[in-house]
Each structure stands twice: as structure tokens, then as C-alpha cells.
């Protein structure tokens, strides 16, 4: 982060999306005849809390099988290094029936005046099937066209991703 000492509190309440040039992701299917396939990975983040170098929020991701929501918790170091974990919403609930695979994203937060972006890399999955993706995450507000028409899924806007508004209880 180029503005030392500023902190990350300003991230609370912000939304971020993957721009069109970064939608490509790869899936590795490790079968007897291994396959690598291209996917479209549209991700949106909503940071609900940001303080003391830590972030919390909800992400929405669609890699062609509908929208999935994850609890995000992470940190931003003073030099801008970022690490975020993504866990399926409700995975610790007794009635959860999905696959509880956690994803770890590593990257950097760049701030240069009004220009700001996360550069992130992630890999998720198992030895049988995994997805790898890198992308710039850019801020998005209701004033931007991407707010109502995401690049990867133009028929979807952020207001339709209601899971992004899941309340997170932060215990001091």
C-alpha cells in the first residue's frame, strides 16, 4: 500500500469485482486422461468490516454453475500484502450439505491516489479437481455500469446478489 499509515478502515462497506480482462480461470481435472479447461470466474466482494489491518465480508462467485457465497476473512499488511480465506457460507452449520472446501487468496492492495486495486491469486479444490485464478479486483459503486451488469454475467447486477448482504457478527 503506497499510503503508509492510512490503514484499511476505508474498505468497510466497499464492493469489488473482476473486470472482463481477468475473467479467465483454469480448472484441472486430474483423471486418467488429465484435462485443463477454461472457465469464466466472475467474483464480487463486499467488505462489511475493515479495521486494524483485518477484513471481513462476503464474496459471490460464479464459475458457470450459479452463484456461490463465501465468508471472507483476511488481512492487509502495512506493505500491502493481502491474504484472504473464503469459506462457504454456513459450512459450520449442522445442516450444511455442501462441499466445505476453503479457498486461500494471496495478493497485494495497491493504492495510488484515487487509483486502487487488489491483485489476487487463488487456488481451490482437491487433488481430483481444482480451480486456479488470478485477477485484479476493482472497486465498484452504484454509479458504475458494472453495478447493474457484471462483465461475466451481464444479466446479473450486484443488487441481485442478495447473499452479499449477509450479516456478519463481529465479536470484539
Note the residue count of the chain.
172
Q: Which comes out higher in pLDDT, residue 125 or 82?
A: 82
What does the pLDDT read at residue 14? 98
pLDDT band at 99 (very low <50, low <70, confident <90, very high): low
Measure the N-to-C terminal CA separation of the chain; round to a whole number of Å: 26
pLDDT in tens, 9-62: 999 999 999 999 999 999 999 999 999 999 999 999 999 999 999 999 999 999
Is the pLDDT at 104 greater than 80? The verdict is: yes
Sign of the torsion angle spanned by Cα atoms 117, 121, 125, 129:
positive
- pLDDT class for 96, splitting at 50, 70, 90? low
Claim: this prediction has a pTM higher than 0.75: yes
Among candidates 83, 80, 81, 77, which has minimal Cα distance to 52? 77
Query: Which three cell numbers, joined as nine digits, stand for 133?
Result: 485464478
Q: What is the mean pLDDT of residues 155-167?
A: 96
Q: Mean pLDDT lowest for which of 4-8, 41-45, 55-59, 167-171?
A: 4-8
Is 101 exposed, middle or buried (CB count within 10 Å of its CB: 0-12, 13-18, 19+)? Answer: middle
Q: What is the CATH number of domain 9-155?
A: 2.40.128
Across 81-109, average pLDDT: 85
When pLDDT is averaged across residues 111-117 and rounded to a whole number, the result is 90
Please report the pLDDT score of residue 5 as a whole number: 36
Amino acid at each position: 500500500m503506497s499510503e503508509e499509515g492510512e490503514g484499511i478502515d476505508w474498505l468497510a462497506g466497499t464492493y469489488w469485482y473482476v473486470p472482463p480482462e481477468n475473467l479467465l480461470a483454469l480448472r484441472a481435472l486430474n483423471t486418467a486422461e488429465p484435462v485443463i479447461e477454461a472457465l469464466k470466474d466472475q467474483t464480487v466482494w463486499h467488505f462489511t468490516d475493515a479495521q486494524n489491518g483485518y477484513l471481513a465480508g462476503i464474496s459471490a462467485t460464479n464459475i458457470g454453475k450459479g452463484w456461490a457465497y463465501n465468508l471472507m476473512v483476511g488481512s492487509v499488511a502495512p506493505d500491502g500484502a493481502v491474504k484472504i480465506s473464503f469459506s462457504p457460507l454456513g459450512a459450520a452449520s449442522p445442516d450444511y450439505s455442501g462441499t466445505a472446501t476453503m479457498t486461500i487468496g494471496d495478493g497485494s492492495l495497491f493504492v495510488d491516489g484515487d487509483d486502487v486495486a487488489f491483485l489476487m491469486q487463488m487456488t481451490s479444490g482437491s487433488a481430483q479437481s481444482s480451480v486456479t485464478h488470478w485477477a485484479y479486483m476493482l472497486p465498484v459503486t452504484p454509479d458504475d455500469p458494472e453495478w447493474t451488469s457484471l462483465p461475466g454475467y451481464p444479466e446479473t447486477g450486484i443488487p441481485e446478489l442478495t447473499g452479499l448482504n449477509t450479516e456478519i457478527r463481529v465479536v470484539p
